[in-house]
Structures are given as structure tokens and as C-alpha cells.
Structure 1
Amino acid sequence: MVTDVVISGAGPNGLMLACELSLAGAHPLVVERLPERTLENRANGLVGQVVRMLDRRGLYERLTGTTDPPAPTPGFVFGAMPLNLSALENNPLHTLLVPQRRVEQMLEERAIELGVEIRRGQEVTGFTQHEDRVAIEVSGTAGPYRIEARYLVGADGGHSITRKIAQIAFPGVTVDHTISRTAHAKVPAELVDPADGGLNVPGYGPIPPLLHHRTEHGMFVYAPLPSSPWPLIATTEWGQEDAEGPLTIPELRASIRRVLGADIELGPPEGEGPHLRRKLTGGNTRLAERFRDRRVLLVGDAAHVHSAIGGPGLNLGLQDAVNLGWKLAAVISGRAEESLLDTYETERRPVAERVIMSTRAQAALIAPGSEVTGLRALFAELLADPGNLRRIADLMSGNDIGYAAGDHPLVGRWAPDLILDDGVRLAELTRDARPLLIDFTGGHWGRPQTKGRSAVPCTALLVRPDGYVAWATDVPQPDEKSRASLEAALARWSLTFTVAQP
């Protein structure tokens, strides 16, 4: 028996891909070397377009417990510089404070609901590609065995064994002059500002919560998160010698004194936890030479790694999975030619390149030194311009993503968050990951479709399964040219659409 797709890795990206494939009618199998979900929390929230993407799959509600749509965040940071987004018209930046382990749990539950098999304690150790399948070698608790699949997807992280076996180069740079220390810790209650939840540090002053705070000597973060009764305390320093052994509270406290020039009396957190203590030296910025080698594809960190500053990782990786899922399923079902898979890299590589550019720019802005302080002063002036602020917000959210262009400015862009006549949101119509044609003319496209009641910059549009616009038109009634352009879009993306009938 040949499985449709084997996904190596049951992290958020692998599980999201499994869900997308299942919704599109394919049958994925997930193998994961860890025997159970990790308790380590590698991220504390979601930033960017992915928040709205989860809403369009009904997964935002699972994480938040609310049926309300996501609301943009009024403020954020770029390179430890505050962004006041509250006055920005159509603010595109959304955030969701939820630990990565909760995201993984939710996605695993959803995948199992959709019938996905997840094999834990199993690791891909090798594979051989054939013309019509991949023979995959797996090491499990009961010994080695083989799986044959139409495709193999590596969602197995920055050290991806899938990428290495496929001999896909992973060029980039490694830096070793920074040390980041992060831990849950107890802080004196009298230091917490009851107004904003930040810290008032004796001998230094106020520090807002949840924001990167840069000084001439490093960076400090105080993050009280709803997922833990104890705040996360973090520092980043340049050019410091690393103390041997695991991170300790006294070591973190000494780092704070160097960064702030003031002391915070930290204590160890109480209770069972899990309590994070992590120390990272240096970091990698790398981009895979290619995202696909015949029947082997890469998503998430297997395809790209970068600094975590600004929280772009899950935004990038989860949308890799959503972009690939419907395309791979269409090829497996025979609805599309294999060439459709080429668009996965042509669309997602430029996005990864922009994330790498953004994180490198932010790394430059948080570095110590008077020259950087001067650069930050200039950058602050630039951010006072609403146009520049909009550009940064679009960059950090992914709202500036534009896939294949077309005859209409909406084509290739994220579909607007429309509300139809009966109050149904577009997000409620896209939960099955099917293409969707929405007609705002009242049925002139020959089907009893519902008009939109929110302001829309078109008369009809075709939404791809990943939430991006495949086709749009301004004509009040179909004519020969507009019908031909719709048929061309359907053929190009191998789409069979459903009709918006709330």
C-alpha cells in the first residue's frame, strides 16, 4: 500500500499541513521522533497574518474560546522600537498570546478529528525516490520498517534529516557573539506597576511589559503571560563569556545588572511548572537552496531559520503549510499537474527572504553602541510618518505578501475580511479549505449567490483555499473577457469552486 503523504515532524507546521491535506481529501501519515509532545515552549504567541488564517479554519476559536473575530493589536515593536498602531487605518497586525505547546495540542486534536494517523517515537532515517513514489525508512520502538508514499514532506526543523538526506544545501550565516538568557522567575510584587503591568526598576525606571527594551549594553524583556503565573525574564548580550552549565537565576540576575545597570531581586518560580530556563549562544540565518526535490518537499524551519525577534516563525511556517496543502492534495488526486507544486517555492521563498531581511534589520537596531543609538533616533523619526509605520506593520504581519499578479489589484493578495448580507463572515465560509466564488452582483454570474454588505473593491472574486485571491473583476455583469479570465484562473490553479450560500 502506498500512502499519499508522509510528514516527518509533528510540530505545528507538520500538524497544520496534515490538517490541510485532510481537508483537501488526501491521506497524510505523520511520523515524529519524540515519544510525546514536548513541554518546552519555543514561542509564546502568534504574530501576523497567521492569526487570521487560523480564524478562517475555525481554529482561532479553539485557541481563544471566543467566536469574535481577531482584532488588530494597538501596539507592537520593531527592533525594540515601539510601534503605535492604534491610529493606523486598517491596521493589519494581529497577535495572539498563546504558548506554542497549546497550538501544537490544538492542531494535534484537530488532525486526529480529521482522521490523521500520528506515529510518535518514529523517525525517518532514510529514503529513496522513485518515479512515482518515495520509499521511506523509519526507525521505531519495534525496530526499523519501510513506508511507501507518493510524497514526503520534511517538517522536521532546522536540523532537518529530510533536507540532509535529499542533499538540499542550507546556506546562510551563523553568529556566535550573542548570548540570550530566558527564564520564568519571581519578581518582587512592589516592582510591578498596577497601571500597565510593567516594572518599575529602582535605579533605572519604568519598563513596559511584553516589549523588547534595548539599552547601550544589551536587551531586556519582562513578559507576564497569561499562560503562566510567573513572568518570563529575558536578556540578550553581546560579547559576553558564557558561564558553564545550565542557566541559573543568579546568572540571569547578573546579566540584568549588566544590561540595565540596576538590580532586580529575582527568585525561582514556585509550583510544578513547567518552568523555562534556556540559554542560547549565537544564532543561525539560513535558507534552503530549494524547497522541493522531486517528491520531497520542505516546510517551516526545515526550509528556513532566522532570528525569533518579532515573532515571525509560526507566521511563516504555518502559512508554508497552508500554501502547500491544497496544492499537494490537488496533484495527488489528479486534479492538477505536478507543475502546480513549483508554485509553492515561487510563492513562499520570497516571503522567507522578507522575513530574513526583517529579522536582520531588527538585529541591527537592537545591537549595543552609540552608532546604533544614532540609527535608532533616525528610525524613530521615520516611524512618526504614518506611511512608514504602515510599511513596517505590513512587513511584520505579512500583509505585504503578493503572489501571482493578475488583471485586478486584488489578485495574489489576502482576501478581504468580508461580511455578507446575512452577517456571515468570509472566515465562516472557508473552514473546509475549499475554493470559494463570491458574487456581489446578485447572481449575474449565473448562480444564486449572496451579496456582500461590507465595502468591497470588486464585483466578484475567487478565493483560493489558502485565503488568497485567485481572480477578481470589477465588471457589473459577466462579459466574454471576464468569463475567460475566470476560466483561466480556474485552470491555472486547478480549482473547482463552491458558491457562497450562507
Structure 2
Amino acid sequence: MQDLECDVLVVGAGPVGLTLAMDLVARGAKVVVAEIRRYAEPPNVKCNHVAARTMERFRRLGVAQKLRDAGLPADHPNDVVFRTSVCGAELTRIPIPGRAERYVSKEGPDTWWPTPEPPHRINQIFLEPILLEHTAALPGVSLLNRTQVTSFTQANGGVEAVALDLDTRQERRIRARYLVGCDGGSSTVRKAIGAKLEGTPVIQRVQSTYIRAPQLRALIPGPPAWSYYSVNPRRCGTMFAIDGSTTWLVHNHLNPDEPEFDSIDRDWSIRQILGVGADFQYEVISKEDWVGRRLVANRFRDRNVFIAGDAAHLWVPYAGYGMNAGIADALNLSWLLGARLQGWADESILDAYEAERQPITEQVSHFAMEHAAKMIKARRAVPANIEADDAEGERARREIGQEAYELNVQQFCCAGLNFGYFYQGSPIIAGDGEAPPAYSMGGFTESTVPGCRAPHFWLADGRSLYDAFGQGYTLLRFDAGVDVEPLLSAAHARKLPLQVIDVDAAAVPAAYRHKLVLCRDDQHVAWRSDAVPADATALVDFLRGARRDSMQLAA
């Protein structure tokens, strides 16, 4: 078999690996993707949510609308409903608009997103094929299916990998500048670089079953929903609508005294969660059992080899931030690798990947673990009379409903996890002494403190601010009288891509308090001030990773 050469070898063609490949190709890189599955082999029924930050990047990569057009029917509400069982009494409802109303709805807690691309509820079985088809059509990408990277070595500033064709059993060598392991929780790449997952190995076990039940929807009272929480003394669980009519994913949350997946009868549990009798018929399509953990790798890199996604961190997927955090890793790393491959950044810019992403994944993992602990506690506290047809039962349902809403609205309308996280302590972000505002799972304060996400606004010509960003850096100038020529000249001399946008907009968020705000391609603020520093070259060298004396660059 022919040996291959590329800029980046991506191991794993799940959503994280495919997004990384798409973004790298957009930066001019030549990419090889190695995947052990066959082409278009259906993925597991796992992720059900694409976060706003992820959709923002899919917009720039030209795939957002394809995803919007897939998943649940356009008129299907994305509500989250809590009931005594799926077919039982409703306790509370978190309203979330379906995709037909996603851009226009102003009602409910999930419609105020400060972004051109709000979240999208779509299961991975619909998401991944779209990403795969889009990636496969890109020039510059070579997809190697049924291919396993069995080993690799690093030398002379590059990586040489041995790849095994799982069908022919033939080997080939792949030489790359960089290798990225997007190969999941049991990552061979992570193990090969000696990185170790640290944290809590088991928070909860979930007996998960993908079923086909065409008669179920007609039995569910009230408007349809995307997610159903079943709350009763016999069994607490969750059900997700997959196609909106016949297929469903049922999660049975095992109790601490049920330590194995077969500790509890699967069929009995499903019927208790659904609220159906023994005569109700359904088909098990697959068993998708999983363990909720809180594990983060102690390092994300060994020289020219990196890990991203589940290879780097695993946690209970509350707020849908398993896959989305992995895609955030990929986009952060793609920007840095692109800077190196394009030739304008110093090799040390790659140090920013672990410095930026590892602390964020650690924070998010704790958010998820804390929420999991609260949910476990709530499941233990279900009152015995919650299904009683009397005044006390009604009061119990009302109280549990209120508690469920207050606890869960933050994870299903998780603006904080989307827009609040910031990169602090990065070697390529010039802090100016102001601390970034704190954020929670559900809330955040817009800020232009270096390291924060540049707050979104619409330009006068109707474009999203992010649509106007170029690769590399974009300087937002809020006062056309400020002379930025020294910075442009210094950037040109170092071949650092830098464009200037003289802001013309009807409304600009109040967080923009400086005349100059320098933003990275990944939408994070890198520097801000009211004037170009006296030594513009020093700032440019700092931004491209060639120097570390950031305190000299303070505004």
C-alpha cells in the first residue's frame, strides 16, 4: 500500500475529528483522517445537542444550514418536560423552540442567545453523516476507513505513524507534521504519549436503550417534547425523541446500590419510565449503556502529538457538553496548528493549546459533576405520593416540578457554558489586569477582558461580527481616528494575518469600552487598548508566540 504524507494526521472520524479536519482544510492544511469504522457506518445514538459555539463555527465552515435542516421535524418543539412517567402527569416544562422558530422565537428562557447561531437539537446519528459527507467532499482531506493507527514515532519535527488496513491486514506509513488523537475515551493516542485520565472514574451508571415504538407518541399527553424526564418512586429516567415519531432513546439512571448494568431488569425499567403496561410493544434497536465520569487528562500534548475530545476528557454529559467541549478543543487546536502551518507563528504558539483548553475542561467537568450530584440527590427524594390523585399528591407534583425547573433550566439553557468561559494564563493572550467575570452553567456577563469571547453584534451591512472575522487576527476599531498603521506594518513584516474592521453598527454591547479590541479567529479577545503600543512589533511577536513578556503589553 502507498505511503502517505500530510500536514496533520487525525485519528478518529467522529464529530470531533471531522470538525478538526474541516477547519484545518479551511486553513490550507493537507489532512489524513484514519478511522476504524467503515465509511458511513452508523454511529452510536449519543450526542443530542449542538451548542451555539459549535454552530457558530459550523456556520463559518458552511455546514450549519445542512445541520439545521436535519434531526427532528421542523415544527417539533424542543421542550424539556418533567412527568411522573413519560405518559403520566406533567410536573413542569422548559419551553425550547423547534428549528422552524429557532431564529425568531422570543418566548421562554432559551431565546435570548447573543449569537447568530443558537443551539440545535439533533442526534449524532443525523449529525455525523452530514459532517462526514461534507468533509469527504473537501479537497485536501484523505479519509482512510477501516484503518487503525497502531503505532507512531516522533523525530525531526514530525510524526511517522504505522496504519493497519483492518480488511487486508496490510500496513502503510503516514508521515505528518502533527498527529491529533480524536479516538475516544479508550484513546490509543493518549496511552501512547503517556497521558493519564485523572478524577472520578464513576459518578453514575446509566442503562441506556435505543428503541422503536411507533405507538408511543399517541399515548403521551400534551404537546410533544424533545426530552422527557420520568420522576416516580419506582424508576427515574430520561427519554429523548430521536426522529420525532417512532424512535426514542431511554436512559435508566441506576441507583448507587445498583452497581452493574444488569443490576435491574431492563424491560421493567423501561416500562416504569414510559408509564406503560406489559401489553405495550416496543423493539430494542441497540443497547447504549454508559458510565458517567469526571476525568481529565493530565496533559494534552507530547511534542507534535495532541489529544482532543473524549481522548482528553470524559464527564457526565449534562448541558450537552461532551461532544461540544471536544469540538471546542478541535477548533482551538486547529487555529494554532494553522498558524504554524501557514508559517507566521512560532512553534511555541502550540503551548497555548494545553494552557487554554485543559483548565476549561477541568472547570466544565466540575460543573457537570456538581449538577450530576444534585440530580442524583433529587432522584432519591421523590415523594411516595407523587402520583396520588388527591390534594397532597397535587402539592407534591407542584413542588417537585418547581424544583426540577429551577435545577435544570440552567443546563438546557446553558448560556454560561457557551459564552462565559475564558482563557486565563494563556501564553498568547495579553492580559491588562482586569479579571474576567465569573460564569455559571446558565449565566455569564459579556466582557472584552482578554481571554473572553468577543461579544457578538450585527454590523451595519447585516453581517454577523463573526462572519467578518478573518483567519488569524481581526482588529475592531471603534474610533476611526486611532492610528493603527504601526500595528499593521509590524504584522505585515512578521506575516501575521491581521485585518481591521472599522465598526459601523446600530448597536454595540456595552462591554466594548476600548477603542481597539483585537480578536482571534476563534472569537476570543487577545488584546485591547485605546492606542497601539509604542512597540507594536513586541505585541505582534507576542501574538504569534515568539515572546512571553506580556506585562509590557498591558493597556
Return the match for 1:354 from 342, 347, 363: 363
Q: Does 1:232 align with 2:215?
A: no
**1:205 alignment counterpart:** none
> What are the superposed Cα offsets for residues 5-50 of structure 1, whole Å, 9 maximum, x if unpaired?
1111111111111122222222221111112233133222213532
Distance 1:310 1:448, change over 3 A: closer
Return the match for 2:128 from 79, 104, 112: 104
Distance 2:252 2:412 in 1: 28
**2:178 alignment counterpart:** 151
**2:208 alignment counterpart:** 181
Does structure 1 conserve the Cα–Cα contact (< 8 Å) formed by 2:203 and 2:293? no
Does structure 2 conserve the Cα–Cα contact (< 8 Å) formed by 1:88 and 1:390? no
> What are the superposed Cα offsets for residues 255-275 of structure 1, whole Å, 9 maximum, x if unpaired?
045558874864235xxxxx7
**2:38 alignment counterpart:** 35
SS in 2 for 1:162: helix
Identical-residue share of aligned pairs (%):
26
Does structure 2 conserve the Cα–Cα contact (< 8 Å) formed by 1:8 and 1:152? yes
SS in 1 for 2:153: strand
**2:53 alignment counterpart:** 49
Distance 2:415 2:402 in 1: 17
Question: Structure 1: which amino acid aligns with 2:304?
Answer: R
SS in 2 for 1:466: coil
Q: Does 1:122 align with 2:122?
A: no
Return the match for 1:335 from 334, 344, 349: 344
Return the match for 2:506 from 446, 450, 453: 453
Q: State TM-score, norm by structure 1.
A: 0.78
Does structure 2 conserve the Cα–Cα contact (< 8 Å) formed by 1:48 and 1:315? no
SS in 1 for 2:318: coil
Distance 1:485 1:299, change over 3 A: farther
**1:324 alignment counterpart:** 333
Question: Structure 2: which amino acid aligns with 1:437?
Answer: L
Distance 1:264 1:484 in 2: 78
Distance 1:243 1:371 in 2: 19
Return the match for 1:113 from 138, 150, 153: 138
CA RMSD of aligned residues (A): 3.9
Q: Summarize the alignment of residues 110-259 of structure 1 with structure 2, pairs less than 5 Å apart.
A: 110-111=134-135, 112-140=137-165, 141-142=167-168, 143-175=170-202, 178-186=205-213, 187-193=215-221, 195-197=222-224, 209-226=226-243, 229-238=246-255, 239-240=257-258, 252-257=266-271
Residue 90 of structure 1: how far off its partner (Å): 4.8
**1:472 alignment counterpart:** 528
Q: Report the more deviating stretch, 210-219 or 87-96.
A: 87-96
**1:70 alignment counterpart:** none
> What are the superposed Cα offsets for residues 273-319 of structure 1, whole Å, 9 maximum, x if unpaired?
xx742242544432111000111100111111112233111210001
**2:422 alignment counterpart:** 401
Distance 1:398 1:236, change over 3 A: farther
Residue 136 of structure 1: how far off its partner (Å): 0.9
> What are the superposed Cα offsets for residues 92-130 of structure 1, whole Å, 9 maximum, x if unpaired?
694311222333233333333242111111110011111
Residue 356 of structure 1: how far off its partner (Å): 1.3
Does structure 2 conserve the Cα–Cα contact (< 8 Å) formed by 1:218 and 1:368? no
Distance 1:421 1:349, change over 3 A: same
Residue segments in structure 1 that go unaligned for 5+ positions in a row: 67-72, 199-208, 270-274, 496-502
More relative contact order, 1 or 2 (CA 8 Å, 6+ apart): 1
Distance 1:336 1:400 in 2: 25
Residue 352 of structure 1: how far off its partner (Å): 0.9
Does structure 1 conserve the Cα–Cα contact (< 8 Å) formed by 2:459 and 2:505? yes
Distance 1:391 1:188 in 2: 24
**1:424 alignment counterpart:** 463
Return the match for 2:296 from 287, 292, 295: 287
Distance 1:241 1:149, change over 3 A: closer
Q: State TM-score, norm by structure 2.
A: 0.71
Distance 2:422 2:21 in 1: 24
**1:493 alignment counterpart:** 543
Question: Structure 2: which amino acid aligns with 1:401?
Answer: F
Distance 2:279 2:36 in 1: 40
Aligned residues: 458
Q: Does 1:95 align with 2:119?
A: yes
Question: Structure 2: which amino acid aligns with 1:139?
Answer: L
**1:272 alignment counterpart:** none
Does structure 2 conserve the Cα–Cα contact (< 8 Å) formed by 1:215 and 1:260? no
Q: Report the more deviating stretch, 157-166 or 304-313.
A: 304-313
Question: Structure 2: which amino acid aligns with 1:95?
Answer: P
**2:396 alignment counterpart:** none
**2:29 alignment counterpart:** 26
Residue segments in structure 2 that go unaligned for 5+ positions in a row: 71-76, 83-90, 97-107, 384-398, 435-446, 486-499, 546-555
